[in-house]
Amino acid sequence: MKLLALDCAQRLCAVALYDADSREVLARRDPEIGRGHAELLPALVDEVLAEAGLAFSDIDRLAVTIGPGSFAGIRVGVAYARGLALALKIPVVGVSGLYAMAAPLAREAGLPVMATIDAKRERIWAAVVGPDGTTHADPAELTAAEAAELASHIPAIVVGDAAPLILAEEPSLPTMSGGSFADIAEVARIGAELDPAGNAPEPAYLRAPDAKPQAGFAVERLKA
């Protein structure tokens, strides 16, 4: 099975073409761009296909990170994956970026790992995954104190760019290098194993959008 994996949820615009039968990444691109995923993503997809010597018709499945992360980036990745899956008539699965961050580090350490993202506004996005791939804590938005309490209770190694905020609350928590971003190769491996029926590509924002409709300026609809 040939799988195309996409991740636009954070500062990376990451694409990988993965052969699930040989468990080999055939080609990948993952530049750190900050913004502008919509403009760059199609070109990166073309590049990885060209490097692998394959065409869109050779893709059997798509996997896309569903967040948490940038509202715009998540929408870009999910919309592109859904549109391409519809055009190619192939399945698409959604992968948690936090899970993809934590899983390989948990396997390496042989212990549960809490992957974190600094969500700003004194909040942290976090999830905990065990070395066998079991989810110990689903992705959630927490305060640093809540995340520290959770990591202490499990217990878990803390990684990610919010780790300093958590360690400020509980300095005794263990940490390790890595985990700033989900590795697109790991997103691909996870996506190849997920059941499309139970892992739809639905955005997981973990926070309500800042922009909300202003009821005071709403225009009354014409009645039929």
Q: Looking at the structure, do residues 22 and 73 belong to the same domain, yes or no?
A: yes
- Write the pLDDT tens digit of every residue in 158-215: 999 999 999 999 999 999 987 788 999 999 999 999 999 999 999 999 876 554 545 5
14: which residues sit within 8 A by CB, 6+ positions away? 5, 6, 7, 8, 28, 29, 30, 181, 182, 184, 187
Q: How many domains is the chain partitioned into structurally? A: 2
Beta bridge partners of 156: none
Mean of pLDDT values over 75-99: 97
* pLDDT over 90, % of the chain: 87
Q: Are residues 25 and 77 in the same domain?
A: yes
Q: Is residue 174 part of a domain?
A: no
- Residue 115 and residue 47 share a domain: no
* Domain membership flag for residue 28: yes
The answer to the question of residue 69 being in a domain is yes
Element of type H or E holding 142: strand 135-142
- Residues 74, 26: one domain? yes
- Find the distance separating the first CA and the last CA of the chain, reported in whole Å: 52
The answer to whether the beta carbons of residues 191 and 95 sit under 8 Å apart is yes
Both structure tokens of 40? 């760059």
Same domain, 37 and 106: no
The CATH number for 91's domain is 3.30.420.40
pLDDT tens digits, 44-61:
999 999 999 999 999 999
Question: Average per-residue pLDDT in the chain?
Answer: 93
The residue range of the domain holding 140 is 99-169
Confidence of residue 110 (pLDDT cuts 50, 70, 90): very high
Q: Are residues 86 and 192 in the same domain?
A: yes
- 119: domain CATH number is 3.30.420.200
Model-level pTM? 0.89
- Torsion-angle region of 161 (φ positive above 0: left; ψ -120 to 50: alpha; else: beta): alpha
Q: Are 59 and 45 contained in the same domain?
A: yes
Is there a single domain that holds both residue 138 and residue 69? no
Spatial separation of the C-alpha atoms in residues 74 and 80, rounded to whole Å: 10
